[in-house]
Amino acid sequence: MSTENLSNQEAIEKLRELVDSIDVAMMISYPKEATYPYKTPMSRQEVDEDGNIWYLLSSESETCKNLEENHNVSLSFGDPGSYTYVSIDGIAAISRDQERIDKYWSKFVEVYFERGKEDPTIRVLKVTPLDAHYWDTKTNKLFTLLKVASAAVTGQKVDIGRQGDLNI
């Protein structure tokens, strides 16, 4: 796997491409005085033009409570079917931005907020990436395995994908 570090707009475009293709991340927050971090799956709403990742969540959730005390957050996206992964560390900002709630509202979100868009527990979470790393094979799992097997038999090096830092 070769290294391809990306910066600025290229990094944002790669981040958007990968996050949009995977959608759900394990969001990791850091509870005060806990031995282990708290992890929960979260479906992103958007990766904006600056590389920020947006979510909706409940103010009553453990994640929200943790992020209100400690703004550090980690996101781990993974698609084993395509061998594509993204690891992001960033800063969380929580708000009650009604415009964003309206923008992101859907039947899927409605399942989590029984009182609708006016539910007072709805919060908007913006994650600003500070550090990101990706692994991307650019092919499916079967093709990647065939390339690896061929390299093992022939002894030739093959390009099975890219990995690198995303400097946003």
Listed in sequence order, the DSSP H helices in 23-106 are 62-69, 98-104
pLDDT at 142 over 50: no
46: pLDDT confidence band, cut at 50, 70 and 90?
Answer: very high
Token readout for 28 is 């990791």
Helix, strand, coil percentages in the chain from 3-state DSSP, rounded to 5: 30, 40, 30
* Domains, the chain, with CATH or none: 2-167 (2.30.110.10)
Mean pLDDT (the chain) is 89
- Give pLDDT, residue 154: 60
- Give pLDDT, residue 31: 96
Strands 24-29 and 72-79: antiparallel
List of residues 6+ apart from 149 with CB closer than 8 A: none
pTM value is 0.85
Query: Which helix (H) or strand (E) covers residue 29, if one does?
Result: strand 24-29
- Give pLDDT, residue 97: 96
